Amino acid sequence: MNQMTLSAVFLLIGAAAYLASGIFILRALRAPGARAPSGLRLLALAGLVMHFAGVAAELFLGDLIHFGFGMAASAMLLIAVGITLVESFVHRVNALTGTVLIVAAAGSVLPVLFPGVTYPTDAWSVLFRVHLLAALAAYSFMTIAVVQAIFLMRMDRALKNPMQALESGSRGGILTNMPDLMAMERILFRIVACGFACLTLVLILGGFATMQSHGVPFVWDHKTILTWMSWVVFAVLLIGRYGFGWRKKKALSWFWAGIFVLAAAYLIYRFVIEVFIL
């Protein structure tokens, strides 16, 4: 079995463990007042180990580094799962954890489908690798924030239309095991703040890395411009939230705008390049 096949096996096993644990968690939380068995974390942790092994085996191919849309998405979800599992040891396992696991199950195998581009190992300096890790962490926090925002929107809709929610069963399911709306908002903006801190670090380290390789702090390509734009949007959002008390529709509008711009900076762009051009 060659290295590529071995990495694919690791990723598929990890995806299966994520999917099973995520489904079991969400099913357990459908009954009002129910709690997901904490033992499901062990299955998710096993998936995390296999996912990490698959990413490591796929990323480093001999003297080459293998990176692209698929690897970026998979590594981002690897970190997102790690963050949510650490959080689950502090607070009880919840629907956010289960949903992130299911999303990770779908995204973890993307390096097999989208192998990306190979680079010589000496093409990536230590500074650039730290910059890349910070970028993956920023995307990971924002991915978790997306899941939280979707739950927040569903809860807000259920509160505004209780009869419709009751008929659809949403009030008798997962939403009943979530914190109240204001607590959900606080959680969302804590996650966004963590992502924003990582994004700030990305821009600082990116400036040093670009200075190291090009002699100037910034090369104004589409990725740099869009990343700075997303940083500005999230900065305005956080100032609006903590300085002016923005909530609900106004805050979420800025949030989704920032998410779209940030995704377009790399993930959407690389997906289009690798699928439709390369």
Phi/psi at 120 (5° precision):
-65, 145
Q: Annotate 19-78 with DSSP letters as a single string.
A: HHHHHHHHHHTTSTT----TTHHHHHHHHHHHHHHHHHHHHEETTEEEESHHHHHHHHHH
- Indicate whether 47 pLDDT > 80: yes
pLDDT at residue number 21: 94
Q: Which two tokens stand for residue 65?
A: 């580094």
Provide the residue type at 100 as one letter: V
Lowest mean pLDDT among 140-149, 191-200, 206-215: 206-215
Lowest mean pLDDT among 71-80, 107-116, 124-133, 157-166: 157-166
Neighbouring C-beta atoms of residue 9, cutoff 10 Å: 16
CA distance 262 to 142: 9
Which pLDDT band, with edges at 50, 70 and 90, does 180 fall under?
confident
Q: Annotate 82-145 with DSSP letters as a single string.
A: HHHHHHHHHS---HHHHHHHHHHHHHTTHHHH---EEEEGGGS-HHHHHHHHHHHHHHHHHHHH
Residue 167 CA: distances (Å) to CA of 69, 138, 180:
41, 38, 20
**Paired strand residues for 60:** 65
pLDDT at residue number 171: 45
Radius of gyration of the chain (CA): 20
pLDDT at residue number 107: 93
pLDDT at residue number 258: 95
Which DSSP letter does residue 170 get? Answer: G
**Paired strand residues for 251:** none
Query: Mean pLDDT for the chain?
Result: 86
pLDDT at residue number 170: 47
- Indicate whether 146 pLDDT > 50: yes
Is the model more confident about 196 or about 3? 196
CA distance 91 to 84: 10
pLDDT at residue number 154: 86
Q: Which two tokens stand for residue 237?
A: 């959002």
Q: By percentage, how much of the chain surpasses pLDDT 70?
A: 91
- Residue with tokens 């990495």, as numbered in its chain: 7
Q: Are 189 and 142 in contact (CB under 8 A)?
A: no
Strand order in the sheet with 117-120: 60-61, 64-67, 117-120
For the question of whether the overall pTM of this predicted structure is more than 0.85, the answer is yes
- Indicate whether 247 pLDDT > 90: no
pLDDT at residue number 100: 95
pLDDT at residue number 169: 46
Neighbouring C-beta atoms of residue 135, cutoff 10 Å: 25
| Residues 202-245: tens digit of each pLDDT | 999 988 888 877 777 777 788 889 999 999 999 999 999 999 98
Neighbouring C-beta atoms of residue 173, cutoff 10 Å: 18
Is the model more confident about 185 or about 91? 185
Which pLDDT band, with edges at 50, 70 and 90, does 2 fall under?
low
- Indicate whether 138 pLDDT > 60: yes
| Residues 5-44: tens digit of each pLDDT | 788 899 999 999 999 999 999 888 887 667 778 788 899 9
Q: Are 259 and 199 in contact (CB under 8 A)?
A: no
| Residues 64-79: tens digit of each pLDDT | 788 888 999 999 999 9
pLDDT at residue number 164: 55
CA distance 271 to 278: 10
Residue 28 CA: distances (Å) to CA of 74, 95, 181:
27, 10, 22
pLDDT at residue number 109: 93
pLDDT at residue number 4: 56
pLDDT at residue number 239: 96
